[in-house]
Amino acid sequence: MTVEQSFITRHTTPERNKTESDPQSEQYPDLTEGGVEKAKERAKNEMLELIKKTPEGAVVFIGGVSDQARTAQTAEIYGDALEEVIYDQTNNDEIEVVTKKNIDELIKASNKKRATEVAKQDSERSLAQIDRDMTKTPDYEDVLQQITEYLKNENPKKKIVITFPAQLKGFSYGFHDRWTTNSGKKTEYFSEVLKKHNNDHTPAGLDWLENQGILTTEDGREIQGPNPTQVAKDYLESLRRLRKFAGKHTDRPIVIGGVGHQWDLDAVVTYLASGGKDVTIENFRNLVGDQEKPLIGEAEMFNFSIGENQTTVDYREKQLTIDNNN
């Protein structure tokens, strides 16, 4: 069985936390300027080192994000920063970066080609009108085929980093009304657990883990929120599906990267580090100890490899090996 390598980070500083000294980013409006710099540093240091250690010829796909724009924008920053540092520091024969901007250009070119073909058979609409319609429904299959052909023709020893944020159900706030409803509003559980802890996400997150997503209100009502173990399983299943999809288009080794959320990722890393046992506050504490900031931080990353017999997890300078048969 092939070892499945993955890494996940939390999104960087969201726009809602902007301050006078850390304003909203113009280029990435759901993040702050400081958050953008934080994500760039993560990519240029820890993420680049991880990529250098991947197998020869690997495709590193930074693709898994949630339905919250801050995750996709963080992923996009990673690709842009990697492109910048790789061309500055390494030989181009070793690593190639395909950014979201590169893929957007491919989509634009594909749309224009399709629009020209349609215009030949639809004289009543202008080329500009058809092009606008095509933009609403881009032909991702055509672009994917171009990337597939590129991978086939590129040096098989060269590592390819592809950054194209793809929304994964299992990562999403709205998946099974995890944290938000279909209308985008916070669920009752999410609202009440934050209210209980004066909107402080750290004690609220610990409450979620300790009480398994069950909250008893002051008036004695019991509210059921998401189960931490199930959240972890949903994330990992989404990564598996993304890996399977990518594997249909290349026979190169695949490394999957994603960007998710605090609480969710605390559950994921706890689940992995405890060998697939239920996510409990005890297992979480065994992993993080008495650290001052126990929950995963902005743009903080962990990576893991899942093989037939063992799982390895690298988190906060800990390298854990877990026997999958226990």
Burial (CB count <10 Å: 0-12, 13-18, 19+), residue 289: exposed
Predicted pLDDT at 105: 81
Predicted pLDDT at 253: 94
Q: How many domains does the chain have?
A: 1
Q: How many CB atoms lie within 10 A of CB 135?
A: 13
Type of residue at 213: G
Task: Say how many CA atoms lie within 13 Å of 88 toward its Cβ.
Answer: 8
In a domain, 255, yes or no: no
In a domain, 234, yes or no: no
95-98 and 214-216: which strand pairing? unpaired
Note the pLDDT tens digit of each residue in 62-79.
999 999 999 999 999 999
In a domain, 10, yes or no: yes
In a domain, 83, yes or no: yes
Note the pLDDT tens digit of each residue in 187-242.
999 999 999 999 999 999 999 999 999 999 888 999 999 999 999 999 999 999 99
Q: How many CB atoms lie within 10 A of CB 124?
A: 5
In a domain, 209, yes or no: no
Range of the domain at 16: 4-170+299-323
Contacting residues for 139 by C-beta, under 8 A, at least 6 apart:
107, 110, 111, 114
* pTM, two decimal places: 0.89
In a domain, 202, yes or no: no
C-alpha to C-alpha distance for 192 and 98, rounded to whole angstroms: 42
Query: pLDDT category, 155, cuts 50, 70, 90?
Result: confident
